[in-house]
Structures are given as C-alpha cells and as structure tokens.
Amino acid sequence: MPEGDTVFQVAAQLHTALAGNILIESDFRVPRFAAVDLTGETVEEVVARGKHILVRLPQHTFHSHLMMDGQWHVYGRGTRWRKPGFRARAVLGTERVQAVGFDLGIVEVLPRETEADAIGHLGPDLLGPDWDPVVAAGNLMREPERPIGLALLDQRIMAGVGNVYRSELCFLRGVDPATPVREAGDPTAWAELAHRVLHANRNRTPRVTTGDLRRGRQLWVYGRRGTPCLRCGRPIESGTLADPSDVERAERVVYRCPGCQPPR
C-alpha cells in the first residue's frame, strides 16, 4: 500500500533513471493530456511531495499519484514490460530507459509555475525539506473534535501518513483511533513520532515499526486482526471510522489492540 515512504523510494528510483537526461519519448494515456509532447526536454529532478510524485522539467511539471494501485516501473530500453500495456497511464523514455506508470490515480502535466495548484494544499512533508513539526501540530489542532485516526490521514495536516502508519502510530502512542484529537495527547509528539517512523523506513523494504525484522512481527497491529498483540497478547481488533466528507477514507480499516489502546 503506497504511503509516504513508498512514494519517496519510487521518486528516488525515477530520479536516478531520468534526471539529467533528455526525453525522447513521452506518452500520456489519459484523454486530457494525450496530445502533450515533452520530448526534447531535459528532466531536472524527480521528487516526492507526500504521496505525490513530481517530474520537473524546465517548462513543465508532470504530476502523478499512485492512489491505491499505481506503480512505476523502470525498464532498460527494449525490455518487455511486466504488466500489460493497457494498464499503462504514462511513459517517459530516454535513450537508455523507459519509466512506465501503471494504474496511476492522477496523471497531469502542468506549467512549471502552476505546480502549487496540484500540491499547495498539502501540509508539511514528513520526508521533505519543508518538514516542520510545529506547523503540523498546529494543523492537527484545527479540528480538536475530530478522531485522531481520521486526522492522521488528512494530507492537509502533514503529508505522507497512510492507513498502515495511521494504525501503527495510534498503537505506539497507546491511543484508540476514535479518540478526539483534543484528548489524544501532545500534537507535537504525534508529529514528531510520525516523522521518526517514516524517516526510519524511507529506504527500507518492507516497512518495520516494531524493530523486529522477522516475518509476521514487523508491524504492531496493521493487518493482524485476531492475532495476539506482540506486547500484551490480547487479540488485535479491526473496524472503521466514518468520515462523511471522504467516502474512500471512511472505507479503510483501522487496527487496534484493546489492551494497549483502551477507549477513552
């Protein structure tokens, strides 16, 4: 499941493959941008901004988002793709490589000067140069009655936390995800913990929050419904938190330990 650390790794891979090279191929397989041609432009850099990927060229920014199912693959030129072509949404090619985005949730090409239109709403990036825990904490407290388990997913507060880290952060703080932000403890501590956990996983696969690299013991609660808590032994529970403003977010399952995260 793509989260801030995964997107950071993908952007780094694309940067290594494309930065400093001239595009000899650009193919955007969405109607709005199908006629856009970036060939002849040099890729300056590829960066992650929260869960967004920005390919920056002198005049344009190519913006993509993996959403739930998207992937970027890098192939040596002439190498057969590992996924069928009809699932490709964007192709960027140099003399040596092809970068192919499959099942991307967002594909758009923007004038470089309007890049902020796509990402300006985001809070501080947990893995970016703009990271600021004080700003993130202030953002978190804007809606003090909101459940902490919903606030953590709001990219306007801080960019990079997804469903896995939402559950893991709540466990590490010993807080039921349904707890209102105002009762969940120091907001700066939440921001700083999120930064530490994502930063520790920015170059690691698979992600680990327990410090234990053994299979089945890498995460405290996420995906472990019915199995014993690694700390207290109680069975892990799962459920949902309703967010009327975001149907997609409302459908995501949240995990908790009833012993380590008692309701308040």
Q: Just list the catalytic residues.
A: 2-3, 51
Which tokens is 163 given? Answer: 């469903």
Residues 101, 66, 191, 249, Cα dihedral to 10°:
180
Q: Which of 126, 115, 128, 22 is nearest to 64 (CA)?
A: 115
Please measure the distance between the N-terminal and C-terminal CA atoms of the chain and give it in whole angstroms.
Answer: 30
- Those residues with Cβ within 8 angstroms of residue 214's Cβ, 6 or more apart along the chain or in another chain: none
Q: At 45, phi and psi to the nearest 5?
A: -165, 160
What does the alpha-carbon distance between residue 143 and residue 29 come to, in Å, rounded to a whole number? 39
Distance CA 177, CA 162 (A): 14
46 is written with which tokens? Answer: 């590829």
Asked whether the beta carbons of 124 and 132 are under 8 A apart, the reply is yes
